[in-house]
Structure 1
Amino acid sequence: MDDIEAELNIAHDAEEDEQERLQLPVYIHYHTNDKGVPSAMSFLKTNRKCLQQIRDAMLLHNWKEAAVYYNNCIQTLDAMSSLGLHPTTSEIVWRIGTEILRHLPNASAEDFNAVYEQMKNNGVQNFSKICLEHSFYLLLNGQMDEAKRQLSIGQSWRHGTVSIAQGDTKKLIQAYCGFLDYLIWCKKKSSVPVTDEMSTNCDMHSYFRQASVTLKEIISQPGIWDPFVLSFIDMLEFYNDEDGALEILENYAYNENFPINPNAHLYLYQFLKRHNAPEAKLIGSLKVLQSLVPSHELMLELCFLLKHTKLMSDLEDALSISMNLLEFVSWRSNLKAWSCLLGIVRMLKRKKCKETVIKEWKSRRPLWFPLHFRSYISRKDIVENISLVKLKKEFLKAVGEKDSPYCKVVWKCMSKRKTKECTVGEKE
């Protein structure tokens, strides 16, 4: 609603329009000048009033009334287009129309298609966007062939400099053309019996070729292409082209021209793990991910890999990574994270590297005591998660803090609980 007001500057003369809106009939007609010819200003004023009425009806959820005003608005846009006028409100009208239809109980697929086709005629500035959204609607309703036709229309559409200005949207349409071929390929794959001849099925392979050509071209350009990359990798793995899939994923993750994308490193790691890559490659991929998202759930897996390399530097990295993890709110009470940290500390002490543990602990002590070991936190932990209490207490012992207030409070509360339990047991 704010977009309508900003686009039409409704607030500028709200008092003047309020009086006119109160007397406005249900069907609005544009005004003419003294000669009976409608002027551009009268069209704009009529269109503005229509949108005001639509806004008010939508705010009150009067969808049928909004639909009536919307029809008048469409008529105004048609008349403006016939005079060579291109209203700046066409995108707002298009989005309002689809929203109204979604809330009308008797709206049909034909109604949606009619709105999209109507707005393509009135909104050349948004032609590519409308084609793309129309294809999404058709996909949601299972009309895959029609969705592909709409994408083809959007891809081949030309309208001078207007279509050139829509280059980014056309690029996205091209990507979805490849994605739609991938979906058809998936559908064909599910309908073919599971045999050794699946990979040589001609029908499937033709869609694979179409999709791969389009997707390979689109994901080679800088951008965030997550669903399209995953689709392409799925097909390449099906045809056992592991080298091609790895090349694409490494380019997507490490190409300096691409925007920073943690998912690219996640996909690379998942691929390497599926294909039993060496530990060094797995660790390298996860370390890049750790530098981008230090709180990622795979950081525990990184710590596990570092613990098993038998290199002291990797063990020290695992200590730092696990402690970093526990400084995030979402990890503070995670048993696996605390157990991982405690295991790393004990391993370092067994390797006679207690100094490394103490050095790391001293640098974090001012933060960790108020973060993890305040008195009220200990009481809360005892009530909610006794397993967490035990892990925290063992960690404090391992770093030489067994006389800390946290340990004392835990010991006192635990003693009271045991005494209470014993008393109850004796009475029974």
Structure 2
Amino acid sequence: MDDLQLHIPEAGNDDTSDDEGNQSTMKRPSFLHVSPSKKRCTESGFHKSTRWCLHAIRDAVLHHRWQEAAGYLDVYTQTLEDTTTSKQSVACEIIWRLGTEVLQHHPHKDQEHFTVLYERMKNTGVKNFAKVCLEHAFHLLLDGHIHKAKQQLSVATSWRYGQQSTSQSLELKLIHAYCGFLDYLVWSQKRSSLSDTEDCVNNRELHTYFRQASVTLQELIKQPGVWDPFVWACVDMFEFYNAEEEVLQLLQNYANNKDYPSNPNAHVYLYEHQKRHKASTDQLLQTLKGLHLLVPSHELMLEYCSLLIKSGEQQDLQHALSVAMNLLEYTSWKTDMKAWTCLLEVLKCLKNKRLKIFIIEEQKARRELWMKMHFKAFHNRKDSKESAVLVHVKTKAAKLLGMYSRRYKEVYNPEEKKLIQKKKKEKSKKT
């Protein structure tokens, strides 16, 4: 266990006399990628030793020799005695990052070792106090210590250092948000412990945590940003208290407000809420339209196609064909049975409604790409090995698209033929 003790001494008095060599150290893009830099002054033996010690730590970490890395880190902590401000600041960041990583993977790790490291780093790297507190809270959360994590964040919210900068303001805002999120976690735990729903609604302690969490999180979500976990927490709480209007308003603003960054998850949350509460087809289509503009390869595009077909409008059917074909142009969907079945359904619907003009227009624009991407001989051999049903569906789609080729044709043994016939019978029974 001795090699796990990171003896971090108190930092010495800051010396503001920085030389040009120290400035070059601050410009390094990565602490782990250390290479000798050109210096005008001669490097001291102390600095040379610590530099090579950092090389040894990096090598041990890359090869997962955690006990060896802990031993080298114990030596490297001597860099905190450096009187140069820039070098001491960089060393503190390195010890914090590497120390956390080594302790996380060390075979003899203990919660107490993490606490010692985090507390020392808070006192040594004053400018990183808020970030270290936040990371310490995350570590405590992983071990299920919600109340201890809340204490860490409470300490961080009251921390100030010099004149408050923009970065410090953002850090404190995030810490404040996680304070509200931890209130939500406590509320969720207490809700689970109460078996009766009426007891939950009337429980004062539970309602106190709800009020604290909801006020904090709603205040945060009003500001433009990507706040997925906090939005999800608000939705969960409001739905429990049957505040459906508040949930809908919150999700619509989160998804459709132009001041917010583009976020596919915002449209997914809104769609799932509308679907749960049986919203109209027009509302569902509008939400999925926004998602399609951001992520045309999203799995919900299959549901989007189904809703477009269900509407029966010519414009919607034409759009459904475009959506289905766009989906199949992504590698992850190339051999997906659901995607090809969806395309075939759209093509049959257009054919039955005598709207082949839409198929002709779409296939003209894509013919060259699709013949190379889906209907070559090697595609046929590969698809035949995976699924005869897929080959059957693709062949039908190719014929309707006017892309049928002898290079891609149905070739399967009698057993596969029986399987296709069985699928047809099952489908006819359902209809």
Deviation at 1:340, TM superposition (A): 1.3
Opposite residue 242 of structure 1, the aligned amino acid is E
Cα 1:84/1:11, change in 2 over 3 Å: closer
| Correspondence for 2:138 | 136
Partners of 2:403 and 2:57 in 1: CA distance: 68
| Correspondence for 2:343 | 341
| Correspondence for 2:397 | 395
Give yes or no for contact 1:5–1:11 (8 Å, CA) kept in 2: no
Give yes or no for contact 1:326–1:332 (8 Å, CA) kept in 2: yes
Cα 1:380/1:169, change in 2 over 3 Å: same
Higher relative contact order (CA 8 A, sep 6+): 2
Partners of 2:164 and 2:80 in 1: CA distance: 19
Q: CA offsets per residue over residues 183-227 of structure 1, 9 Å max, x none? A: 000000011122333222111110000101110111111111111
Deviation at 1:398, TM superposition (A): 2.4
Q: 5+ unaligned residues in a row in structure 1: which ranges?
A: 21-41, 422-428
| Correspondence for 1:4 | 31
Q: CA offsets per residue over residues 395-423 of structure 1, 9 Å max, x none? A: 23323455x2245x43xx45xx469x9xx
| Correspondence for 1:67 | 70
Aligned counterpart in structure 2 of residue 185 of structure 1, from 187, 198, 204: 187
Partners of 1:308 and 1:4 in 2: CA distance: 57
Question: Once superposed, which parts of structure 1, at least 4 consecutive aligned residues long, lie more than 4 Å away?
Answer: 44-50, 59-62, 78-81, 83-86
| Correspondence for 2:119 | 117
Cα 1:108/1:379, change in 2 over 3 Å: closer
Aligned length: 387
**CA RMSD of superposed structures (Å):** 2.8
Partners of 2:64 and 2:319 in 1: CA distance: 57
Aligned counterpart in structure 2 of residue 369 of structure 1, from 362, 368, 371: 371
Q: CA offsets per residue over residues 169-190 of structure 1, 9 Å max, x none? A: 2221111111101100000001
| Correspondence for 1:405 | 406
Partners of 2:390 and 2:338 in 1: CA distance: 10
Give yes or no for contact 1:86–1:122 (8 Å, CA) kept in 2: no
Opposite residue 388 of structure 1, the aligned amino acid is L
Identity of aligned pairs, percent?
47
Alignment map for 1:96-175 (pairs within 5 Å): 96-161=98-163, 165-175=167-177
Cα 1:106/1:163, change in 2 over 3 Å: farther
Deviation at 1:134, TM superposition (A): 0.4
| Correspondence for 2:57 | 54
| Correspondence for 1:38 | none
| Correspondence for 1:324 | 326
Deviation at 1:45, TM superposition (A): 6.1
Q: Normalization by structure 1: what TM-score? A: 0.83
Partners of 1:369 and 1:345 in 2: CA distance: 17
Deviation at 1:94, TM superposition (A): 0.6
Secondary structure at 1:295's aligned position in 2? coil
Secondary structure at 1:161's aligned position in 2? coil
Partners of 1:221 and 1:378 in 2: CA distance: 52
Q: Normalization by structure 2: what TM-score? A: 0.82
Q: 5+ unaligned residues in a row in structure 2: which ranges?
A: 1-27, 418-431
Secondary structure at 1:88's aligned position in 2? helix
Deviation at 1:9, TM superposition (A): 5.3
Give yes or no for contact 1:175–1:214 (8 Å, CA) kept in 2: yes
Partners of 2:318 and 2:77 in 1: CA distance: 67
Q: Which is worse superposed, 191-200 or 328-337?
A: 191-200
Partners of 2:258 and 2:64 in 1: CA distance: 49
**Which one has a bigger Cα radius of gyration?**
1
